[in-house]
Homo-oligomer: A and B are copies of this chain.
Amino acid sequence: MEKQSPPGRRKESRRKFLGDVVKGLSAAAVGAHLDRSTFAQNPQPGRPSIRFVIHGGAGTIVRGQMSREMEESYRTELTRALSTGYNILKNNGSSLDAVEAAIRIMEDSPLFNAGKGAVFTSAGTNELDASIMDGSNLKAGAVAVVKHIKNPISLARLVMERSPHVLMVGDGAEAFARQQGVKLVPQEYFYTERRWKELQQIKEEEKKQKSPQKKSEHGSQGQPLTEGKHGTVGAVALDKSGNLAAGTSTGGLTNKKFGRVGDSPIIGAGTYANNRTCAVSATGDGEYFIRAVVAHDISALVEYKGMPLNEAAQAVIDKVGKLGGTGGVIALGRDGSITTPFNTEGMYRGYVDTNERMVIEIYKD
């Protein structure tokens, strides 16, 4: 067990710490853009350099369709998450701490489909999934279909560190949370007007269709799921000790039924980290990412085929595309290389470049 202090105190001290690092951030660095999705730099021999990459979901994010104000909000929140994680790494923090802290910030923001900003299920509830993985020992934790957990990424970490299990779902996961001293929140916490309207809009569209029930019930894996109704947040980190970590958190699919679970809590699909290769967090049509075992496939191409990380990640996104799925990944190599391929119009993403400039990107071009 790496953390000995009780959860309550841990959370409190971490909050304070996060506040400090955000305050200490160079404001000049915020908003710098670099128009390429891949770069690589080998760390100096014997001294691994730190790296941090985040995403806030991929989908139909088209330039000109988003208000300037909305875009600024996204950039601000992504910058806050990015700088928080990066500063943890700079201050000798672990890659796991950086990943968890950045994802908590995105979970607490109403902008992203995770935590507070989670979309609504068909029944008008919010069901959250998350997972985290430690590349140094392949330990992992995940939760799925939790309804009263403010920060599912932190519960996933507790599953990893304080239970012999990897995946806990539903009420059982929440019973574990209570036992660990995690305060549960009422479902109302996850209410946001924007997400509620999205659900109503989709339900209206369903009604307009002649036989919507039949269509949704008899859809097949050959048909792409509707874009723009999902989203995910994630982070990958390389710390000073050379350890990789990856984490992913989501509110799932708007209007989802039948206890559907996507790729976010699935180790190997939505999340994977292995010090031998890379750390990966995915976002997109979860079904296709599960079938393509996306995160592990990228790692396998690097390890077994000796493929450079950017080629491996692009190859796997191409496979997802051929199956009919859309989305993207952020991937971080053990050598510090970064790549963020996606086959959608946009993906909210950010990383710190080799000059310590924070790069936030949204669109494809």
Instruction: Provide the bound-state CA to CA distance between A175 and B257, in Å.
Output: 9
> A170-B169, A170-B170, A297-B296 are contacts. A163–B258 as well, Cβ < 8 Å?
yes
Chain B residue with Cβ nearest A266: B266
- A191-202 interface code vs B (CB 8 A; 1 in, 0 out): 000000000000
Chain B residue with Cβ nearest A323: B138
> A165-B260, A172-B258, A218-B162 are contacts. A293–B293 as well, Cβ < 8 Å?
yes
Tell me which residues from 211 to 256 in chain A have a Cβ below 8 Å from any Cβ of chain B: 216-221, 223, 225
Say if the beta carbon of A206 comes within 8 Å of chain B: no
Say if the beta carbon of A160 comes within 8 Å of chain B: yes
A169 touches B221 (CB 8 A): no
Instruction: Provide the bound-state CA to CA distance between A297 and B268, in Å.
Output: 10
B170 touches A145 (CB 8 A): yes
Quickly give the copy total for this chain. Answer: 2
Instruction: Provide the bound-state CA to CA distance between A139 and B262, in Å.
Output: 14
- When distances are taken between beta carbons in the complex, the residues of chain B under 8 Å from A287 are 164-166
A247 to chain B, nearest CB (A): 15
Instruction: Provide the bound-state CA to CA distance between A276 and B165, in Å.
Output: 32
Say if the beta carbon of A153 comes within 8 Å of chain B: no
Instruction: Provide the bound-state CA to CA distance between A301 and B300, in Å.
Output: 8
Instruction: Provide the bound-state CA to CA distance between A257 and B168, in Å.
Output: 9
B145 touches A169 (CB 8 A): yes
- A264-285 interface code vs B (CB 8 A; 1 in, 0 out): 0011110010000000000000
Say if the beta carbon of A292 comes within 8 Å of chain B: yes
Say if the beta carbon of A291 comes within 8 Å of chain B: yes
Q: Give the one of A161, A164, A267, A304 with max B CB within 10 A.
A: A164
Say if the beta carbon of A144 comes within 8 Å of chain B: yes
> A1-B220, A290-B268, A301-B304 are contacts. A168–B260 as well, Cβ < 8 Å?
yes
- When distances are taken between beta carbons in the complex, the residues of chain B under 8 Å from A68 are none
